[in-house]
Structure 1
């Protein structure tokens, strides 16, 4: 510890020589008073300097208190309300749906299944192939001049990246029966993907992309256990190959059951929602207003041959979808 400076008192004056008794001091010397201790303190004395500093500090503190006190003002709730109202009037804030879309967009991929042309000629080979619908416009290789080993698009769907290493969730019916699967990421990168896992009872498939973007962002998943009817949700995907497209709605019901139009499979414990979904949305994420995935869009209810959206869609809860990829439950 640094030792404080120590200051000693003024040195005593040297002892005066004795004056011979025979020679008395002059009269002026006898009448002048002896120099006092106080008179020996010079202007440079440390004691005087410290005293002056203390006085100046006290004066400065008093001045600051006097100057600040009148300017202080308590902020009231009325002031806060006025500031918030001013912000709302002068700035255009994004909607809840827009923020949710912005959060999930980097994790959504376009999934396209391809089959060899030789298989297209055999209707039985593609019977039951669920990768529908075909994207708008002519299919690749459909000009009739391609070799039988060339591949053409069989259908398009959607997927969502759940692990930043390129692990993607989609619907099984999007990729079943395909010879090749390709995914397109948010930045335009196209990569071949392989099916690494399936969960037929929930119409789910897990893909592994062979290439991924450098800045790959995986979606955030959230348990669907606390969802309630009326909660806002957003469906993102590639309806009819157009996208990515977003549609907003609410949770219409929980623990619903659905049987495919072919009657081959019945799924249960589904999330019912009314955000618009059409063929091509299959495999896409159903997200909350925070952009967190609570389900994978898997089916729409339409008793007519059109198979388009009539207001009732279904999604597999993310708990089931995550287990398909071998991820731990929430």
Structure 2
């Protein structure tokens, strides 16, 4: 390699490494630029070198400008939690060995108050003192203080939390603060530069740079895997203490809230996750307005479109949210959605999978109307769904009966019938799996069976069977199922013991 290329490579590498690992990025010194551009290089090479150094210097300037712009909008959050614990006594009452007093309800030791602390980051989202952060940063906090870039320390109060999205809003009694500008996480693309700002390991106002490494990541880490996730993935260094801090684009706009890392050591391994602002903004607005979050409810089982489902159900599209089942008399059914439909757009926005569909519905307020573009056997339909409210009672309609019955059921459609080798079916519920223990197993139901009717009623949906099942259970009467298995139709009785 010629000396002048070695010089340029070294200079660019040094500058980029520095820009990715320091809080405030410095421009390449003129002396180093002169040295990097070799005098023995031909004119064309020197022109390329100057252009590359100018591009790199412009990037450095962009990093620096964004870091300076964001400093006043980023805060450190410190929490304290008080715990009441019982200390062990050296000798148990009545001469019992240590530990046996707990067995007998005794009172060895004394009650003492202990205090633990935590630290995270946050971003100012309104000039009148509202701060967005992670729920896990402030969860169970008894005391909360907020430190600003100018050194001010203020007491914070929790406005509201949403464990299902791992977001929370904190308020301080100040005005005239600089709020971060909201960007678009929908428009950001893989490969775009971003900066992560926060307080890793207690080091305030730390800035790291990287790119968007991926989108639509689901890690099942929020709310024990039951939360709403659609992470942006970045290689900008995120470490403990960064949680709740902003991820911003080179316009200085907020695109995500830094939340988690994938690491074997506990430190940054180049894989960090941020909640996209498209998911955070509706939660933020609801918490500020009402102190809590109310979510929309579709009333349908939604899964991702996968290569397996495309082949099994002969789907005509390869991305979108696949409707696996529809609850009777709920918003999806009232709007005309059917099992086997693939939702490809929501309010004009293309979606890539079931996760985006569920997140979008959950981010809308109950009573909202969502426009859906749906692919049904290759035909494009435009439907409007007026959402209900996602409550525990509403969600119980999905899980309660399946768990009690001990089998997974899917409504008959041309696609599901074809998958299980049936022709000419117009109604019924196909048994897709049976657990080892449960009512379905006791009744000798098998995967691939079709439950055609229950007590003389032709079945069209799982909620319909659940309702008939509940009535039979309440009256302690035998429930008679007509089941098709291959070319046979048999009656299976289900009894309810006293």
TM-score (norm 2): 0.40
Contact map agreement 1:206 1:324 (CA 8 A) in 2: no
Query: Contact (CA 8 Å) 2:222, 2:229: kept in 1 or not?
Result: no
Question: 2:195 maps to what in 1?
Answer: 234
Q: Deviations over 1:32-85 (max 9, x none)?
A: xxxxxxxxxxxxxxxxxxxxxxxxxxxxxxxxxxxxxxxxxxxxxxxxxxxxx8
Higher helix proportion: 2
Give 1:39-118 correspondences, 5 Å limit: 95-116=61-82
Residue 252 (1) aligns with residue 218 (2): no
Q: Which residue of 1 aligns with 2:247?
A: 286
Separation (CA, whole Å) in 2 of partners of 1:103 and 1:219: 9
Q: Is the 8 A contact 2:164 2:222 kept in 1?
A: no
| Post-superposition offset of 1:215 | 4.5
1:222 aligns with 2:179: no
Gaps of 5+ in 2: 1-49, 88-111, 290-362, 364-498
Indicate the residue corresponding to 1:314 in structure 2. Answer: 273
Q: Greater Rg, structure 1 or structure 2?
A: 1
1:208 to 163, 167, 171: 171
1:274 — aligned with what? 235
Give the whole-Å Cα distance in 2 for the aligned partners of 1:164 and 1:261. Answer: 29
Distance in 2 of aligned mates of 1:120 and 1:253 = 43
SS at match of 2:218: strand
Runs (5+) with no aligned partner, structure 1: 1-84, 124-147
Alpha-carbon distance in structure 1 between the residues aligned to 2:150 and 2:168: 23
Moved over 4 A (4+): 120-123, 261-267
Cα drift, residue 322 of structure 1? 1.7
Q: Is the 8 A contact 2:128 2:176 kept in 1?
A: no
Map 1:102-251 onto structure 2 (within 5 A).
102-116=68-82, 119=83, 121=85, 152=115, 154-210=117-173, 212=174, 215-251=176-212
TM-score after normalising by structure 1:
0.59
- What is the distance in 2 between the residues matched to 1:247 and 1:259? 26
In 1, are the aligned partners of 2:166 and 2:222 still within 8 Å (CA)? no
**Partner SS, residue 156 of structure 2:** strand
Out of 102-111 and 266-275, give the one that drifted further: 266-275
Call closer, same or farther: CA 1:308–1:122 in 2, change over 3 Å.
Answer: farther
Partner in structure 2 of residue 300 of structure 1: 261
Return closer, same or farther for 1:100/1:122 CA change in 2, 3 Å cut-off: farther
Work out the CA distance in 2 between the residues paired with 1:236 and 1:280.
10
Contact 1:285 1:294 in 2 (8 A): yes
Separation of aligned partners in 2, 1:245 and 1:208: 23
Q: State the distance in 2 between where 1:209 and 1:153 align.
A: 22
For 1:165 and 1:152, locate their aligned partners in 2 and report how far apart those are by CA, in whole Å.
31
Displacement after TM superposition at 1:259 (Å): 2.6
Tell me how far apart the structure 2 counterparts of residues 283 and 205 of structure 1 sit (CA, whole Å): 9
Equivalence for 2:99: none
Structure showing the higher strand proportion among its residues: 2
Corresponding pairs, count: 213
Q: Deviations over 1:197-255 (max 9, x none)?
A: 22222100001113x2x652111011111110000000000001112100000000111
Residues 195, 236 of structure 2: 8 Å contact kept: yes
Deviation at 1:326, TM superposition (A): 1.1
SS of the residue corresponding to residue 269 of structure 2 reads coil
- Measure, in 2, the Cα distance between the counterparts of 1:122 and 1:262: 29
In the alignment, is residue 323 of structure 1 matched against residue 254 of structure 2? Answer: no
**Shift in Å, 1:319:** 2.0
